[in-house]
Chain A
């Protein structure tokens, strides 16, 4: 099943790697070097390790609310890996794998979830927007960045993410419509993980697939197996090449599954059967990729075990670096609303500091 022949409507998913780790679509298999394959695996494992450790920190009362990505690593890592350095990433809030690929330091990611705005202060050269909590609203920013690229005559592209729930939003429609009308180089990726908190995908839309919504906007849409690292890379790469070539936006539905909770505040046992979760565990994107790499003799179980330990150490040391040292400076709360603080804010800051000093 070549990329070109997959239609946005119907049951067929664009797939290269099957759940046994076998290549079923040699023609579209990306031509990765061994180093690239190991990088992809390592990044997916890094994402998984961060999630697992953070969930345990949260249970220990050391972390606040957290939105894990477990099960969606191929969707995120595969798509982001198709980007070039100058391309823009516009995330929603569950794109850990993509942030890691695009060079967002883990320290920033932890700072954000730990409750400090400095987490969203991306380093220079990292063209990633902050997490956007209001559902689907970020798609408008992606469209705007893309339209600006056209106006400025720049060749970089924008990759943006939204969930299956986000497709019900007005902003989803408006952003894709704008991007299409202005032929903006934007790749819209729906992480269809089957649930918006507790609400099933079927309750979001009567559409047979989410990818088919592309038809109405007059742009290409493709339904991809989101747990297939190669398919996610290949589909996104194709869409990016089109966009860079002036052929406009593409809508990608990444069909995946959230193996964990929406956030740590959620209890998924209330709305789905364990049986369903077990079925999807068989399709775990990391497991599938690992089988492929084992078959290829690129890695061994021992290597994998060492990798896990190495990644855990990085996660632990980075978390401990920010833990208990990340309280917000009072000035920071006031300083960044405008380039220059207006007198009202100066006064409120001064009065509050006087109160604190008086209380000593």
Chain B
């Protein structure tokens, strides 16, 4: 029977595959054990691997991340869950001051093979603090890898790569598309390289760089503009940090135009970094100013307003047309 699964199931399968392969992996966080997590990403794991390896913790994000630092130093590979990215801030000090620094601080004596998983992004009609995309904050921190999948296939391969990575990885899961679609995925473990982007669609007229749940919206926008004879090249970044600059720089050299689409607020977002890199590396190839379509510099609205916040396929399509005509 084919292994056709959605993103949550892909996360679950990645954890299960890797826990079978590597007895040092432990999975824990709030409600991840008995219940299998609020999104059920860890469902069944406690039953299969026992309470020593999959467990519920007291409700304290700083301790969830901080104890993972100690566990990783002491020979385990913790894969911890923060229930929502909006609840990662109590763990901010641990992530920035220790997770990202321990290897450098000790000149390689203490390494932290650990993964922090967190659902991120909006569009699920949730309460406050359950919808934000603050990947730029973490991507700005030296020593931290930030990975965001956009499909079940990528989610499984990238999570396995994150678990096997000798360095800490923040793995952000686009919860808006957790169950949006299914894909046939290899049942066995496989890795996709961290730090490598993927060309989702080839095209000649404009390069669109995006990630996470926005990939599908960009694909919808692409269908709209193709009817008007515009063929975008879509790049799914897959890793925010360290970013695969080569793939999008080469693409922009070909198309002469770049649009970055992200859910995160526009100012100081990852798009700003990408525009800078394009200016540094492909300036003489540009036919139009590299442009960002992003969330507003506002707090993510409560559900009655969220449809205005996340860039819609229509808004993306309009910008594509403007940039191609520039």
Task: Give A contacts to B, CB under 8 Å.
Answer: 88, 90, 117-118, 120-122, 129-130, 132-134, 137, 139-152, 170-171, 174-175, 177-178, 181, 332, 335-339, 342-345
Flag whether B123 is at the interface (Cβ < 8 A).
no
Assuming the contacts A144-B67, A145-B74, A174-B66, asked whether A342 and B106 have C-beta atoms less than 8 A apart, the reply is no
Q: Are B108 and A148 in contact (CB under 8 A)?
A: no
CB-CB nearest in chain B for A345: B242
Q: Give the residues in chain A near B97, CB-CB below 8 Å.
A: 133-134, 137
CB-CB nearest in chain A for B61: A174
Which of A134, A147, A149 has the largest number of chain B CB atoms within 10 A? A147
> Which of B50-58, B176-184, B282-290 has 4 or more CB atoms under 8 Å from chain A?
B50-58
A122 to B108, CA, bound (A): 10
Flag whether B69 is at the interface (Cβ < 8 A).
yes
A74 to B270, CA, bound (A): 52
Q: Are B105 and A120 in contact (CB under 8 A)?
A: yes
Flag whether B94 is at the interface (Cβ < 8 A).
yes
Assuming the contacts A117-B104, A122-B109, A130-B110, asked whether A140 and B167 have C-beta atoms less than 8 A apart, the reply is no
Give the residue of A132, A145, A178, A336 whose beta carbon is less than 8 angstroms from that of B104.
Answer: A336
Q: Give the residues in chain A near B71, CB-CB below 8 Å.
A: 144-145, 147-148, 151
Task: Give B contacts to A, CB under 8 Å.
Answer: 26, 52-53, 57-58, 60, 62-63, 65-76, 78, 90, 93-94, 97-98, 102-111, 142-143, 145, 166-167, 195, 242-243, 245-246
Give the residue of B90, B103, B110, B245 whose beta carbon is less than 8 angstroms from that of A337.
Answer: B103
Q: Give the residues in chain A near B167, CB-CB below 8 Å.
A: 338-339
Q: Are B143 and A337 in contact (CB under 8 A)?
A: yes
A169 to B245, CA, bound (A): 41
Q: Are A148 and B98 in contact (CB under 8 A)?
A: no
Q: Give the residues in chain A near B98, CB-CB below 8 Å.
A: 132, 134, 137, 141
A90 to B69, CA, bound (A): 12
A122 to B110, CA, bound (A): 9
Q: Are B107 and A178 in contact (CB under 8 A)?
A: no
Further contacts, 10 of them, CB under 8 A, given A117-B107, A130-B106, A140-B94: A88-B74, A130-B102, A130-B110, A137-B62, A140-B65, A144-B70, A148-B74, A170-B62, A336-B108, A339-B166
CB-CB nearest in chain A for B195: A342
Q: Give the residues in chain B near A144, CB-CB below 8 Å.
A: 66-74, 78
CB-CB nearest in chain B for A133: B97
Q: Give the residues in chain A near B145, CB-CB below 8 Å.
A: 338
Q: Are B109 and A121 in contact (CB under 8 A)?
A: yes
A148 to B74, CA, bound (A): 7
Assuming the contacts A129-B73, A344-B242, asked whether A143 and B106 have C-beta atoms less than 8 A apart, the reply is no
Q: How far is the CB of A328 from chain B (nearest CB, A)?
A: 10
Instruction: Please list 26 pairs of residues, one from A and one from B, whose beta carbons are closer than 8 Å in the complex, sorted by A's number.
Output: A88-B74, A90-B70, A117-B104, A121-B108, A121-B109, A122-B106, A122-B109, A137-B93, A137-B98, A141-B70, A144-B71, A146-B70, A151-B26, A151-B71, A171-B66, A171-B93, A177-B63, A178-B57, A337-B104, A337-B142, A337-B143, A338-B145, A342-B195, A342-B242, A344-B245, A345-B242
